[in-house]
Amino acid sequence: NAGVTQTPKFQVLKTGQSMTLQCAQDMNHEYMSWYRQDPGMGLRLIHYSVGAGITDQGEVPNGYNVSRSTTEDFPLRLLSAAPSQTSVYFCASSYRDREQFFGPGTRLTVL
Amino acid sequence: KQEVTQIPAALSVPEGENLVLNCSFTDSAIYNLQWFRQDPGKGLTSLLLIQSSQREQTSGRLNASLDKSSGRSTLYIAASQPGDSATYLCAVNAGANNLFFGTGTRLTVIP
């Protein structure tokens, strides 16, 4: 099993550009989530999904969009990038409320 | 909103010492609590998961306890080794595997 995979590993964007962070898991997990990690603030939940076709907002959803068309994939879209979205983004998955597994992260810089 | 606090923010100990990391949370209505390890520039590695009905969980040299009523958890590391140097994160599951994270304890084990 590859576990949770994320692409790209690094990305630099200009203000106003859009992009999609990819996340995939091969463990047949129902639950998937996106977090961002900023210095001194810990990880914060952006969006989450409890199954294909079902998504909901977390603590910091503004500026991000998600969809879940398959169990395996949960992409995160930045609609119009802003410098405040410079962060490290982590995707995670779990079987319901069990142990959560994290991907290696995407380091995003918005200039 | 759930608030998670980890004390101390940083800890430096000589090799072989036993140590305790602390985590406190404000809302006792949790599903479970998970401890993670994060190495610099890397993703999160799950260490232990304690269900809300459990008091403690052990894995090798690690032991985690949970006192839900007082909103506290501890991670005990026995016979510390230089390879244990990392940041340790505590996360509380508020449901639908929405995790609320502390800002972590940065541990350095000196050979």
Q: What's the confidence (pLDDT) of residue A96?
A: 85
Of the partner residues B97, B102, B103, the one whose CB lies closest to the CB of residue A100 = B97
Q: Tell me how close the Cα of B22 comes to any Cα of chain A, in angstroms.
A: 16
| CA distance, residue A47 to nearest chain B CA (Å) | 9
Mean pLDDT of B96-104: 91
Confidence of residue A97 (pLDDT cuts 50, 70, 90): confident
CB spacing of A97 vs B36 below 8 angstroms = no
Cross-chain residue pair A97–B89, CB shorter than 8 Å: no
Phi, psi of B84 (to 5 degrees): -80, -10
What Å distances lie between residue B12 and A7, A105, B22, B41, CA to CA? 35, 27, 15, 20
Q: Would you place residue A106 in the very low, low, confident or very high pLDDT band (cuts 50, 70, 90)?
A: very high
- pLDDT tens figures, B33-71: 999 999 998 999 999 999 999 999 999 999 999 999 999
- Which of these, B55, B59, B81, B58, lies nearest to B68 by C-alpha position? B55
Residues A93, A57, A6, A106: is their CA dihedral positive or negative? negative
Buried/exposed code over A19-42 (b: 16+ C-beta within 10 A; e: otherwise): eebebbbeeebbbbbbbbbeeeeb
Strand partners, B109: B13
The model's pLDDT over A70-84, given as tens digits with 9 standing for 90+, comes to 999 999 999 999 999
